[in-house]
Structure 1
Amino acid sequence: MITALVAVLIGLVVLVWSADKFVLGAAATARRLGMSPLLVGLTIVSIGTSAPELFVSAVATLDGAGNLAIGNALGSNITNIGLVLGITALVSPIPLKKKLLRKELPLLLLVSILAGLTLADLELSYIDSILLLAGLVAAMYILFQESDDSGESLVDEDEAAAIESLSTKMAVFWLLLGLVCLMISSKALVWGATEIARSFGISDLMIGLTIVAIGTSLPELAASVASALKGHHDIAIGNVIGSNIFNLLAVMPVPGLIATVAVEPMALYRDLPVMLALTLALLVLFILNRRSGVMGRFSGSLLGLGYLGYLTTLFMMTSNG
């Protein structure tokens, strides 16, 4: 048990660190190969925020813990809205941009519904995964059109400067080192988490929804709070919305591409509705705060309390089970 706990803690720390280095190296390498800053931000940096979830899902599925991977995707989205945005709004009120209400938030809601439909038969199959990946291509096109129209950067100044200043040799070094560390730390995290689950009689889904989801959402939490403190609030909320879209369209398909996964019923009847409810709540809060133009501490408190209530429900169900 102690070994498993150490594996989870070290795995999470290395996972977060290596994801950051992997994204930095990949983005800088792409720039050296001639990719535009806009395209780097839209693809590598945006998808890179879901790198921890992506690697953990792949390793979990290969280890026969497909429901941990599904729980990771759903749980990360719940954590991103309830915990990450909740804390960010408590740190500093988040200015709301109209373009988020026009495209990004409705797109996230549609993607969430699509994810629910693929799980409706309590199976995640190869066909389901292909449908989600097709949705990813469509979402990328829509987001690229929006970004191209606005002309806005998708990364903050510090991150953009780090990408531009990195030499080709160092970019490739961080890319490869980050990739290796991501694979090793993902393996350690999944092994430790599944061992803890077996010791306490907890399902893989529950571990994916809690320990793994919170751990793999740490990059979004750190990036969003840091952006808010720097005054880059639009990047903070954009990170969360973008990450949630990629979690459902790029991370959740991974188990189905490897093998058909029998989905635990609670993922469909409990966790998916909570994810949809929080996504709708974010949309409603956006509309209600449209006149003031900011999502303040009261809204952040509501999101945070919603997430705390969800966690409490999970632990009560576990203890009663």
Structure 2
Amino acid sequence: MYAEIGAVVAGLILLVWSADKFVIGAAATARHMGMSPLLVGLTIVSIGTSAPEMFVSAMAALDGAGNLAIGNALGSNITNIALVLGITALVAPIPLQKGLLKKELPLLVIVSLLGGVVLFDLTLDMTDAIILIVAFLFALYLMFQDSSDSGDAIMDEDEAAEIESTPTGMAVFWLITGLVLLMVASKALVWGATGIATAMGVSELIIGLTIVAIGTSLPELAASVTSALKGHHDIAIGNVIGSNIFNLLAVMPIPGLLAVTAVEPMALYRDYAVMMAVTIALLVFFLISYRKGTMGRITGTLLTGSYVAYLGFLFIANQ
């Protein structure tokens, strides 16, 4: 499996790097074409955080590995809440953006329930994909209204400065180069992941839930921990909520758009249930910590511990 493991490692590294360049190139190009910073931040930058998952899902669906794509979407959401937020809270208490309780957190719960509805018949087809995409457009509209009213920044100052300072020619270059490299990296990752699944006798769903989901969530983990160490991690929960909404509404429909995908029953009965549980747990922890204003190390321990327990359960169930 040396070639497959190498493809997965190289694919993940190239995927993360090319996604960053693609987002900067696309955002800078849009700014030079006259798009407002608010709209750039809300669409290109926000959706760009899910670019690795989107390209991996597309390549997996085209290669007939639709369950790897579904596992990637569900697994990334579990990883974002239980691992990314858990470890970030262990590093330093996370300041709570209390406005999230009015719109974004309830929206995430509703979107998560919608994900269960489309998976309920264990088939992901064009109709399911259209339902999720329509919901995605509606969610974008709601978030744009909220951002316009509040005037809050969508991206951090360093990212905004890099976008503004990138010349038009360089922006177009990184847009095209990043797009091509994203496709190459996604293809390599899916080839390696499916090869490992075959060699180890495990399902593509499990590989999507673990190796691929953790790999595509590593940028969020690194950024959140780095921000926590610098004391600038107050947007960590908002980023995770936004990423999880995009994963369900923009990543999970992709297999259904490209082919009718038969969903493994365990994706619904086990993995969707775990994703729903950690989403509700995030809401509960938020409510409990609301008055204090921070989500601390006890919450971080519970979230991280639940993720380790989930991985252990997957391992035991696969034996």
Alignment partner of 1:136 is 2:136: yes
Deviations 1:194-222 (A, max 9, x none): 00000011101000000000011112112
Other structure's SS at 2:235 match: helix
Return the offset for 1:18: 0.6
Tell me which amino acid in the other structure corresponds to 1:12: L
| Cα-to-partner distance string for 1:161-202 (whole Å, 9 max, x where unaligned) | 111111111111111111111000000000000000000111
Structure 2 residue aligned with 1:114: 114
TM-score (norm 2): 0.99
Alpha-carbon distance between aligned partners in 2 of 1:305 and 1:103, rounded to the nearest angstrom: 28
Number of residue-to-residue matches in the alignment: 319
Distance 1:229 1:142 in 2: 32
Distance 1:231 1:157 in 2: 15
Give yes or no for contact 1:156–1:232 (8 Å, CA) kept in 2. Answer: no
Deviations 1:283-313 (A, max 9, x none): 0000000111000111111110111110000
* Residue equivalent to 1:104: 104
CA contact (8 A) 1:289 1:295 kept: yes
CA contact (8 A) 2:55 2:182 kept: yes
Contact 2:97 2:235 in 1 (8 A): no
Q: Say whether the 8 Å CA contact 1:60–1:69 is kept in structure 2.
A: yes
Q: Is the 8 A contact 1:155 1:235 kept in 2?
A: no
Equivalent residues of 1:69, 1:208 under 8 A apart:
yes
Give CA-to-partner distance per residue, 1:35-68, whole Å, 9 cap, x none. Answer: 1111111100110000000000000000000000
Q: Which residue of 2 aligns with 1:176?
A: 176
1:38 corresponds to 2:38: yes
What one-letter code is carried by the residue in structure 1 that aligns with 2:314?
A: L
Identity of aligned residues (%): 70
C-alpha RMSD over aligned residues: 0.8
Segments ≥4 residues shifted beyond 6 Å: none
Name stretches of at least 5 consecutive residues in structure 1 with no aligned partner. none
1:223 aligns to what? 223
Query: Could you tell me which residue of structure 2 aligns to residue 77 of structure 1?
Result: 77
- The structural deviation recorded for 1:231 is 2.8
Residue 149 (structure 1) aligns with: 149
Could you tell me the TM-score, scaled by structure 1's length?
A: 0.98
Counterpart position of 2:23: 23
Gaps of 5+ in 2: none
CA–CA distance in structure 1, aligned partners of residues 246 and 230 of structure 2 = 25
List per-residue Cα deviations over 1:108-165 (Å, max 9, x = no partner): 0000000000000000010000000000011001111111111011111111111111
In the alignment, the residues of structure 2 paired with residue 299 and residue 58 of structure 1 have an alpha-carbon distance, to the nearest angstrom, of 35
Residue 274 of structure 2: aligned partner:
274
The aligned residue for residue 90 of structure 2 is: 90
Task: Say if 2:18 and 2:179, in contact at 8 Å, map to a contact too.
Answer: yes
Partner of 1:167: 167
SS in 1 for 2:23: helix
- Equivalence for 2:125: 125
Residues of 2 paired with 1:190 and 1:10: CA distance? 11
3-state DSSP of counterpart to 1:233: coil
Query: Are 2:14 and 2:182, in contact at CA under 8 Å, matched by a contact in 1?
Result: yes
Deviation at 1:223, TM superposition (A): 2.2
Please say if residues 156 and 235 of structure 1, whose CA atoms lie closer than 8 Å, have aligned partners that are also in contact.
no
Structure 1 range deviating more: 248-257 or 224-233: 224-233
Aligned counterparts, 1:283-294, within 5 A: 283-294=283-294
Q: What is the CA–CA distance in structure 1 between the aligned matches of 2:282 and 2:173, rounded to whole Å?
A: 39
Partner of 2:250: 250
Give distance in 2, aligned partners of 1:114 and 1:234.
Answer: 28
Looking at structure 2, the residues matched to 87 and 168 of structure 1 have their Cα atoms a distance apart, in angstroms, of 38
Tell me, in whole angstroms, the C-alpha distance in 1 between the residues paired with 2:252 and 2:208. 12
**Aligned residue number for residue 310 of structure 2:** 310
Q: Does the 8 A contact of 2:97 with 2:238 survive in 1?
A: no
**Matched residues in 1 for 2:49 and 2:256: separation?**
21
Report how far residue 88 of structure 1 moved: 1.0
Instruction: Look up the match of 1:235.
Output: 235
Using the alignment, how far apart are the partners of 1:285 and 1:185 within structure 2? Answer: 37
Q: How far, CA to CA, are the matches of 1:138 and 1:184 in structure 2? A: 31
